[in-house]
Amino acid sequence: MLIAAVTSLSLTERNEMSRKFKYYFNSVRPTAPENFISGVNGSFFKVAVEFHLVGTQVKTRSLLVDAVVVFHWIDDRLVLRELFDDFELPKEFEPWLPRVRTIPAPHTVTVVLSPATGVVSLYHRVKDVITCSAVEWKHPFETFDCELQAENAGDEVLTMLKLRDLRSDHQTTLVGAELSPFPLSTLKLQFSAEWNSALLSVFLPSVLIVTLVFFAQWKRRKVQILVSLAAIMSILVLLVSSRPYHSATLLDLWICGCFIHAVFLLLVDLTLPARRVRYALLVDVEDHESKPRQTVLKCQESSQRSIDLILKWAERKLGLKENQESTTQVFALPPEAAVVQRQVTTTTLGERKRIALVVVGASYIVFTLIYSIIIFSIN
């Protein structure tokens, strides 16, 4: 498909090539006028270059390229009017060849002759992994640039002829290809980084971690501090485990932003109160009865103030002595209302802490919006 030539010579072709190469010197460059181009700097020998792109496969910051680089020129000394089909020249018939090379190096080199026109084609088959470059700070939204280069060591001028893209539609969508302008003879390949993995492994967990720390503010202080410390450690692990470059990147910026907001929430936990103690008077109002009723009162350590009030009331009404020893007694209470004061602790956020949480939450939302704008603007 790419090399439309037979791989063996017929007897007629061999006889004609033997006759031509009897007085052929491969150290002499062809002098056909079609090979020269003139400019302000003089005349130069022209070698046309074609790129046949067969396939591409994206690797980790690299690209597997399967391509054929074809160099064309005209050698009028090898015009054979009696032959019409292109054929591959064997090693014993070596024509003049320009000192060209491809980067990466080819694994197959083939010379094909068109006998009717004298066009000599040098085919370099390349199938190798090309290391690509990218702007590091854009990670994981960077775009990788790869180059398949053709160079010459002599004074010949390489001119780009065309690009034949033989890849499938899927490969064409993933990796773009274009020829570089003159005087460069380079095939530029470009593809975007796979940021979907970073979305699932870094961005989504970090958002959930910060959200967890934020909603933990409505729990007890011990729970708040434990959750905040665990979140900070998790974010540090994400930062250390996702650094393909030594320089700072957009991914580092996101993780550092989440880390800073988690630290701010921890500072709010440590500096602002998370609870407020309120005292309430609970009145036990019983139905009035004609006769006294039996009521059991239990004395507990947590209700010492209530016990003191009950003992004083019993002394005043029933004339009990202070040296009574039991901590749980049965009294005949008149049908009157007994008033007991209890200490009730309720979990609530102070006004200053609410303001601090609103500020931290608004800061995180603004940070997310600015980060999203940066991502869309760089692409």
Q: Is residue 1, in this structure, part of any structural domain at all? A: no
**Same-domain check for residues 145 and 15:** yes
The pLDDT value given to residue 7: 57
Write the DSSP symbol of residue 6. Answer: B
Q: Say yes or no: 136 and 20 in one domain.
A: yes
Query: 45: closest CA among 91, 100, 115, 86?
Result: 100
Last residue of a domain, one of 192, 220, 252: 192
Whether residue 38 sits in one domain with residue 25: yes
Q: Is residue 44 part of a domain?
A: yes
242 and 327: one domain?
no
Among 192, 215, 246, residue at a domain's last position:
192
Does the global pTM surpass 0.75?
Answer: no
Number of folded domains that form the chain: 3
Examine residue 5 and state whether it is found in any structural domain, yes or no: no
| pLDDT tens for the 379 residues of the chain, in order | 444 444 567 788 888 888 888 888 988 999 888 889 887 677 889 999 999 999 999 998 899 999 999 999 999 998 888 888 888 888 888 999 999 999 999 999 999 999 889 999 999 999 999 999 998 899 889 999 999 999 988 888 999 889 999 999 999 999 999 999 888 889 999 999 888 888 888 999 999 999 999 998 888 778 888 999 999 999 999 888 877 778 888 999 999 999 999 999 999 888 876 555 554 545 454 544 444 444 433 434 444 555 566 666 666 655 544 444 444 444 444 555 455 555 555 556 678 888 999 999 999 999 999 999 999 988 6
> Which token pair is 81?
């009017």
Tell whether the torsion through CA atoms of 68, 74, 76 and 80 is positive or negative.
positive
Q: Given this model, what pLDDT does residue 273 score? A: 63
Q: Does 299 share its domain with 329?
A: yes
Buried b (16+ CB within 10 A) or exposed e, 289-324: eeeeeeeebeeeeebeebbeebbeebeeeeeeeeee
6 within a domain of the structure (yes/no)? no
The crossing angle, in degrees rounded to 10, of helices 351-378 and 204-215 is 170
* pLDDT of amino acid 234: 92
Q: What is the domain range of residue 105?
A: 11-192
Question: What CA–CA distance (Å, rounded) separates 314 from 115?
Answer: 129
> Tell me, what CATH number does 44's domain have?
2.70.170.10
pLDDT at 291: 45
Do residues 244 and 198 lie in contact, with contact meaning Cβ atoms separated by under 8 Å?
A: no
pLDDT at 299: 38
Q: Is residue 3 part of a domain?
A: no
Q: Which of 192, 216, 251 is the last residue before a domain boundary?
A: 192
Residue type, 45: F
**One domain for residues 313 and 256:** no
